[in-house]
Structures are given as structure tokens and as C-alpha cells.
Amino acid sequence: MSIRTTPCAGSPSPGTSPAGPEIPDLPLVSARLEAWYPSAARELPWRSERSGYRALVSELMLQQTQVSRVVERFASFMARFPTLRSLADAPEQEVLAAWQGLGYYRRARFLHRAAEAIRDMHGAEVPDNVAALAALPGIGRYTAGAIASIVFGQAAAIVDGNVLRVLSRLADHETRMGDPAAERWAWRESTRLVQVASAPGVTNEALMELGATVCTPAAPRCDACPLAAQCAGRASGRAASIPTPRRSAARRTLYWHSFVHVDEHGVLLTERPAAGLWAGMLQPPTIESDTPMDVAVLSTTWGMPVNKVAQFTHVTSHRTVEFTVLVSASECTPAIAGTHRVPLELLESVALSNAAWRVMECAGVPVKTPLSASAGRRAPRAARSAPTDS
């Protein structure tokens, strides 16, 4: 399954020149990419109609999220917020609710704040240049370059994991994903490429498409590549081993103990803190700890007997969360500070993480989740091989 990757942030410091080879014949590279792309491009909903707003939404959605997942959610999000002004004017909780199923909710907040800034500073029109785009909340060099080039035809460079991989293989340059020096080199080469491209936006989209569908991490299909004749990595036989994968960060394990209570008035929910994982979203009352807690201790903490009904593991980019799901063992109505009931029929209109949906499912709450129950069970996979900018 193709995935989008994460943007790369590195850019050369003033007065420095990134080490690494220059890719030869860049005008030919660009011409071949532009000739290949129209027939090779996948049909994706945000490509059917170009606008700065649609590009802004799709670019934020595609960071760290599988393309197939974004395809499932893009149309409904655009139906709910058909214009930038409608998004900017909406309450944040409404935006988070519409984002359900995509994960990484910080991006939804950035999108909302960027829309507010565009409404207030640019008359609700997405700016057409990198400097103005990069000044928006949550928009870095990669995202700004993608919008400026693809929508407005600007000669703006982009580097994400797909682009870094294609460029590294073209040059037979030994790079490592996530390495700042490699990213600086890739930004230099990407800038050189768009400066000679007749259609910078098409060249950029073709680079990303090539990395997502042909020049893939583990098994590049060199026989189907429009750049095969120019690829130094293919000639050396090292293409499949370039670049080196990024070093894995240590993953922290947390233990969350979630209490689910449902009655004729709805489900008992509480709001998460304003910072941290799933910030500001709703969830069943939860006690977090660094070690598992005994049911008897949890019963004392909540002031009523509880029974454990399920356990599951939820993996995020930097954490493993071990969930224990508990329900009341008596007919008592719990009195837990900071909670309120949400009717079942209104659950889809509030901001709940995939993990919170699964907690309720495990407790037998008759809920209709926004996506399949498996949505939060997989370890997230990098989408757009990591934009190196935000």
C-alpha cells in the first residue's frame, strides 16, 4: 500500500554548502518526470480540482497518514467545510470531530489555525508564495513548497522521504533518512531541479508519485522507472539499499485504565488536558500510570467497584499505550469529577480518538465508529515519508 511520507526540515545555513554530489542532466530529469506523470498519476480526490484550500487540507492530512485513509476522509471533510472561511469560522472541537479517523490531531489544530490566519490576514485566499505560506501556523518549508508549486506554479522545492529517496538513488549518494546533512543535500538538489523545470509543480508531484509507487523503499521497480537510464544507484546495483533507514527512537510504554459507564443519558466522558497526546479531546475517565494498576486500587480511586472487561494495545509514533477497560460492578451512578454524559446519538459530533472509540467498543457500548474498528490497532506508518519541515 502506498503511503505519503514526512516532510524534511533541513535547509542550508547561510554561507554553507551541503556536501554531496550534484545530480547531472537535471533538465532531462525534469522533462522525463513531466512526460511520465500524466499517465502514471493515481486518481486522487484532491487532484481532480486544484485550489489552494484543497491543497492545504490534503497536504496536512497526508502527513503521517496512509493515502488510502485520506481518500476515505477527504470528501466528507470538504463537504463539512467546503470553503476556507467555513473552516476558519468553525469551533476547534468541530474540526477535531471531522478529523476523526486520521489520527495525529495536532495537524487538525494547525490546519484550523492556518485557516484562521488566512481569513484574517489574506482575505480568506490562500497565499501563492512560499514566504507567506511558511509564515502560517503549522506550515513548514515542505508544505509551503508543495502548495506554491503544485497549485500556483512557483519554482519552489520540496523534500519529503519519497523525494529524498529518489534523489539519493539518482546520485548513488549514501544518505540516511532523518539525517540533517542528507536533508540539506536533498533540499539543494530539489532546488536545482525546480529551477530548470518547465512545470515545477508537475515535476514535484512526479517526484513524490515516483517515490510512492515505483522507487519504493524495499523493492524499487527500476524496470518501470522513467529515470532508470540516468539512475546511478541502479547502475551500481545499490538502489535498494539507499537511503539507510532512520534510527528508531526509543518507544515509551504507558498504562491507561479507562472506566466506561453508559446509561439512558449517554456515555460518561471527560476532556483530556490541553497539551500532550490527544490534547483537548474527549474520552472515558482514564487513570494513567507508568505501571499496571490493580483493579482493587482502581475501585478505591473511583469510589465504586469495577470489573476489568478487556485489554488492548494502541501504538502511536512515540508511545505504546496498554489499555485496560473497566466497567462498573454495581448499579451505582459514578460521581467522577470533570465528567459529563454525551448521548450515544451525538458521539459522532464530538472529538474522540480512535483509541477512545475502541475503549467504548470493548465495554459493549453500541457505537458506530467513524472508521473500522481496526483503525487504531496498527502502528502508524509514515505517510509521505516524512515532510522535512514541520
- The DSSP symbol for 364 reads T
Output the 3-class SS for 240-306: HHCCECCCCCCCEEEEEEEEECEECCEEEEEECCCCCCCCCCEECCEEEECCCCCHHHHHHHHCCCE
Query: What type of residue sits at position 8?
Result: C
Strand runs labelled E in 105-175: none
Calpha distance 386→90 (Å, rounded): 29
- The dihedral region occupied by 64, where left means phi > 0, alpha psi between -120 and 50, and beta the remainder, is left
Helices 200-213 and 141-150, axial angle in degrees (round to 10) = 120
Query: What is the distance between the terminal CA atoms of the chain, rounded to a whole angstrom?
Result: 24
- CB 1, CB 378: distance < 8 Å: no
Q: Looking at the DSSP assignment, which residues form a beta bridge with residue 161? A: none
Calpha distance 345→367 (Å, rounded): 9
User: Radius of gyration over alpha carbons of the chain, in Å?
Assistant: 23
Calpha distance 201→147 (Å, rounded): 9
The residue from 34, 59, 116, 205 that is catalytic is: 59
What H or E segment, with its residue span, contains residue 322?
Answer: strand 319-328
The burial of 271, by beta-carbon neighbours within 10 Å (0-12 exposed, 13-18 middle, 19 or more buried), is given as: middle
Output the CA–CA distances (angstroms, integers) from residue 60 to 75, 111, 189, 190, in the order listed.
14, 7, 24, 21
- CB 198, CB 205: distance < 8 Å: no
Whether residue 94 lies in the annotated active site:
no
Residues designated as active site: 59
